[in-house]
Amino acid sequence: MPMVENVRADRRRQVPRTDTLLADPQLAEAAERLGRELVKATVQRVQQRIREGAVLPAAAVDAVLAVLPATASSLRPVLNATGVLVHTNLGRAPLSAAAVAAVAAASGTTDVELDLATGRRGPRGEAALAALLAAVPAAEAALVVNNCAAALALVATTLGGELVIARGELVEIGDGFRIPELLGATGARLREVGTTNRVTLGDYRDALHAETGAVLKVHPSNFVVRGFTRAVPIAELAAGLAGRGVPLVADVGSGLLRPHPALPDEPDLQTTLADGADLVLASGDKLLGGPQAGIVLGRADLVQRLRRHPLYRALRVDKTTLAALEATLRGPVPPVPQMLAADVAGLRRRAEALAARLAAAGLDAVAVDSEARVGGGGAPEHPLPSAAVSLPEAFADPLRAGTRPVVGYRAGDRTLLDLRSVPPAADGELAAAVLEVAARWT
């Protein structure tokens, strides 16, 4: 027993002092980058490991550096190998390199509301709004708020009165939030028309009266009703409402700019406006591939009413969102549209190459065909043909806990890593993450 106590005492004496470690040039640089308190807390955890005999005193600095995060944020980069292109739990759309660079450039002081030529206040986010109008020529004006639900709330609050909506479009949009509850929270009254499965133009027309604020169509993006069904297309509804003085507002959700051959039933912004909608609402961080934002496009007089409502001030976006949105629209094709357009033969070649690399290291890895999804509530009936690397099921949990977390999915007794949602440039990182997990078992 005295010998054990002596060993413990020796370890305590050998633990480097906190101020000595923090003075190390590498840790001092880390403190400048991450903050002194975060680095100090990491130093104290490593000191405890030295007392426990898990780390040698001479390796203290290296041990601290090994576990320090890359940034002062707790959010960690994750490789999305789920095959879900717009994964809400993983932050939806990954930004393009151009958008990331734009965010970095806008993170300091910028001319977001200053006209540099005159030195006077300028219109906020003018360039981002111009980029939206260039991308969707059918729109007269544009507005950006912090998400699509905010856009819907702003519309309901501004247009006021009673909102006419088909009963089958009173959807739940995720995490327990429901369209009727969101609209009700604004003080708007809902006039439900039709039945769960069928609604006609006459149902809408019969519901109009002096207090009708708008007719609202919500795309039921995360489910499909089949069988004896009837919905009223935007073009038919717009024609039927002509001359009634009631705005037609369409919440299309996913942010698809124009029709896409892979998603024949997904409504797009350009077509919806061209068919006669007065306002169209969408998300910026889904199929558009940009930052979280609520996009409003349509008639200039209605957009101006939204802009001048006091609630808009509470919902407007910051300079970095405007910068990322503009770069997404004007820059190279963002990751999500690239994933959507990926060639299946190319995905298979990537899967075969990765599986061969892992098999050469002694792992049970094979390339298989798979089905990817749009995600984010979009196109639930349209699986996307894809390819994946199949591993034993036991890999799923350790891959999530790795140095570079990888999220795949279980299929039977296997873990699949779907490559449609993984950028080709990240294939090497994906292989390294799998090999790191395998090394822990040997």
- Residue 374's SS3 state is strand
The reported pLDDT for the residue numbered 404 is: 87
| 377 pLDDT more than 80 | no
- pLDDT confidence tier of residue 76, bands split at 50, 70 and 90: confident
User: What is d(CA 129, CA 155) in angstroms, rounded to the nearest whole number?
Assistant: 18
Whether the pLDDT of residue 21 is over 50: the answer is yes
CA distance 45 to 252: 50
Q: Measure the CA–CA gap between 410 and 391, rounded to whole angstroms.
A: 10
- pLDDT grade, residue 3 (50/70/90)? very low
* pLDDT more than 90, % of the chain: 77
Reported as a pLDDT band with limits 50, 70 and 90, residue 95 is very high
Mean per-residue pLDDT for 346-367? 97
- Res. 223: pLDDT tops 90: no
- Token code pair at residue 105: 């450039």
- Taking alpha carbons only, the member of 387, 335, 327, 332 closest to residue 101 is 327
| Residue 4: predicted pLDDT | 43
Distances 89 to 5, 417, 420 between C-alpha atoms, Å: 49, 17, 17
What percent of the chain has a predicted confidence (pLDDT) above 70? 95
- As a whole number, mean pLDDT of residues 69-87 equals 91
Q: How many CB atoms lie within 10 A of CB 74?
A: 7
pLDDT at residue 47, as a whole number:
94
DSSP 3-state assignment of 367? strand
pLDDT at 185 exceeding the cut of 60:
yes
Q: CB–CB of 380/265 below 8 Å?
A: no
pLDDT of residue 230: 87
Can you tell me the distance from the alpha carbon of 113 to that of 319, in angstroms, rounded to the nearest whole number?
9
1 has a pLDDT exceeding 60: no
Pick from 255, 295, 319: nearest CA to 111: 319
Confidence class for position 6, pLDDT limits 50, 70, 90: very low
pLDDT of res. 440: 82
Average confidence (pLDDT) over 86-103: 96
Burial track 17-45 (b if 16+ CB lie within 10 A, e otherwise): eeeebbebeebeebbeebeeebbbebbee
Phi, psi for 420 (deg, rounded to 5): -65, -30
Residue 190 has pLDDT above 80, yes or no: yes
**Residue 150 — left, alpha, or beta (φ > 0 → left; ψ -120 to 50 → alpha)?**
alpha
For 72-99, what is the mean pLDDT?
A: 94
- The band of 380, judged by pLDDT with boundaries at 50, 70 and 90, is low
pLDDT score at 10: 59
Inform me whether the pLDDT recorded for 393 exceeds 80: yes
Identify the pLDDT of residue 426.
97
Partners of residue 71 on adjacent β-strands: none
